[in-house]
Structure 1
Amino acid sequence: MKNTLFSLLLVMIATLTSFNAVSETALNKTQQQQLNAITTLLQQNPDIIPGLHQSLTQYVAQQQGFKGILTANHDYLYSNPKHTQFGATEPKLTIVNFTDYNCPFCKRLDPVLHDMAKTYPDIKVVNIYVPLKEMDAPLSDMNSAAFALNVWQQARDKYFEVHQLLLTKPSAHDQRSFARIADKTGTRDQLKQHDATVEMVERNVSLFQQLGLRGTPAMIIGDGVLPGYLPAEKLAPLIESALDKH
């Protein structure tokens, strides 16, 4: 019972702090209710306070490390034209979206983000491609991330078509699916691997791991992470909250 309660408190506190990282304002009504519930639970179960304090201290340290990594890699993530991106050219808010063309929830999120960029013209979305489901092969081999980046950087007029075809394949990509898409879109030249693209994909994966992300999609809004797929009706209020800070 105590272990279950301890785990529940950690989840509640992590949720509370992750939302506050996006807003960085006074607690809203929901957050205040969560805080009150946590206080009550701790008063009723004081024996779990030492363990919870230790876990929270570790969590805060991890969050500080997260912010440090974001700061050190800010220009690479937020101001790098080599990443595929859409939305405002001078944004008030930039959403960094770690995504994988082999991830079904990433594919579902993509049109939601495009809709958000239309609804909120002051936001920009930057896609950071991490081919997690193709990691069994060396990153020096062609993969979906490298293919998309090559097209974006070398044949941008063909990128949207390639992007849509990469999204619509229901199963995992392989060399044959890349070849079919390249033949259909006239992007055979972009199937040639380049050292700069390999290094970029490697850095994307490294940052994904350093930031402690565990799966895709994962969106960074402000200093907070939104893991997993979110429908428009849940994502929109978080975007509005972040925009209100600017």
Structure 2
Amino acid sequence: MNRRTVLVRLAASGFALASVQGLIGFGSARAVETDSNTVLNDPEAPTAGNPKGDVTIAAFLDYNCPFCKKAAPDLRRIVKTDGRIRLVYKDWPILGDASVYGAQLALGAHYQGKYEAVHHALMGLPSLRIPKDKVLQAVQAAGVDMARLQADLDARADAITALLRRNLAQADAIGLEGTPAYLVGPFRTSALNYAGFKQVVADARARQAAK
């Protein structure tokens, strides 16, 4: 299942792609102009780090992506150690139905303030293509109220689906080809380690200072 197939499954009739344009080459990352209202400041998208940070990282991730899982500890580390990064999670479930299920669980947990706990729990699993009860055990072990989670999944299903549609549409409009994908200030890049995150954040700050 590719990103366009998932987009078709989630998109409502007449759903329009978000307007995100302007990719140009720049070093090991690509400079990118984004519509901050649709990509960086979606009020429904979970965030972490410093809400007033001077650099924003928008992380397009899939819970079945091995590269996302490999980079997750270093992404978490750079946000914590830097102290001036705002992180926006863009759930982009492109690797099958299990990916969609994982994204729904994480976003459902957001309503009880447990998005990050579930996010880290799911990133810590080797795959979501295991029995669902094993996935749910990991979510419960993260401190989630499971009865409330189910209630929120039922009551907020339309809102969760709408957010996934927006994330998928934005990724499609930007031209992202796979996960992970990170927008770091004006740059677009993919799988990174801690040193890579540190460098691209420094590059983003340097670009801002040069304006």
| TM-score of the aligned structures, taking structure 2 as reference length | 0.73
> Over aligned residue pairs, what C-alpha RMSD do you find?
2.6
Give the structure 2 partner of residue 132 of structure 1: 94
- 8 Å contact 1:96–1:127 — kept in the other structure? yes
Distance in structure 1 (CA, Å) of the matches to 2:27 and 2:88: 21
* SS at structure 2 position matched to 1:76: coil
Distance in structure 2 (CA, Å) of the matches to 1:183 and 1:113: 24
Count of aligned pairs between the two proteins: 178
Distance in structure 1 (CA, Å) of the matches to 2:73 and 2:66: 12
Distance in structure 2 (CA, Å) of the matches to 1:180 and 1:188: 13
The verdict on how the C-alpha distance between 1:218 and 1:200 changes in structure 2, with shifts beyond 3 A counting, is same
Higher normalized contact order (CA 8 Å, seq sep 6+, divided by chain length): 2
Structure of higher CA gyration radius:
1
The verdict on how the C-alpha distance between 1:179 and 1:172 changes in structure 2, with shifts beyond 3 A counting, is closer
Shift of 1:224: 2.4
Distance in structure 1 (CA, Å) of the matches to 2:123 and 2:195: 22
- 8 Å contact 2:45–2:88 — kept in the other structure? yes
Match of 2:137 among 180, 183, 187: 180
- 1:159 corresponds to 2:115: yes
Distance in structure 2 (CA, Å) of the matches to 1:223 and 1:197: 27
Distance in structure 2 (CA, Å) of the matches to 1:230 and 1:20: 11
- 8 Å contact 1:91–1:122 — kept in the other structure? yes
Distance in structure 1 (CA, Å) of the matches to 2:57 and 2:193: 15
Correspondence list, 1:57-206, <5 A: 67=33, 70-71=34-35, 74-135=36-97, 143-152=101-110, 154-156=111-113, 158-173=114-129, 175-184=132-141, 185-191=144-150, 192-193=153-154, 194-206=157-169
Distance in structure 2 (CA, Å) of the matches to 1:115 and 1:243: 18
The verdict on how the C-alpha distance between 1:111 and 1:175 changes in structure 2, with shifts beyond 3 A counting, is same
Shift of 1:77: 2.1
Distance in structure 2 (CA, Å) of the matches to 1:135 and 1:204: 16
Over residues 125-145 of structure 1, what are the superposed CA-to-partner deviations in whole Å (9 max), with x where a residue is unaligned? 1110011112589x6xxx111
* SS at structure 2 position matched to 1:148: helix
The verdict on how the C-alpha distance between 1:162 and 1:213 changes in structure 2, with shifts beyond 3 A counting, is same
Give the structure 1 partner of residue 177 of structure 2: 214
Give the structure 1 partner of residue 3 of structure 2: none
Over residues 175-202 of structure 1, what are the superposed CA-to-partner deviations in whole Å (9 max), with x where a residue is unaligned? 4344334544332432434111111112
The verdict on how the C-alpha distance between 1:161 and 1:21 changes in structure 2, with shifts beyond 3 A counting, is closer
Give the structure 1 partner of residue 20 of structure 2: none
- TM superposition outliers: structure 1 runs of 4+ over 3 Å: 20-23, 158-161, 173-179, 181-185
Give the structure 1 partner of residue 9 of structure 2: none
- Structure 1 unaligned residues grouped into runs of 5+: 1-15, 24-65
Normalized per residue, which structure has more strand?
2
Distance in structure 2 (CA, Å) of the matches to 1:209 and 1:177: 32
Give the structure 2 partner of residue 35 of structure 1: none
- 1:234 corresponds to 2:196: yes
Over residues 97-154 of structure 1, what are the superposed CA-to-partner deviations in whole Å (9 max), with x where a residue is unaligned? 10011111111222211211123222111110011112589x6xxx1112111111x1
Over residues 53-103 of structure 1, what are the superposed CA-to-partner deviations in whole Å (9 max), with x where a residue is unaligned? xxxxxxxxxxxxx63xx22xx223222342222111211110111001111
For 1:107, give the aligned amino acid: K
- 8 Å contact 2:28–2:189 — kept in the other structure? no
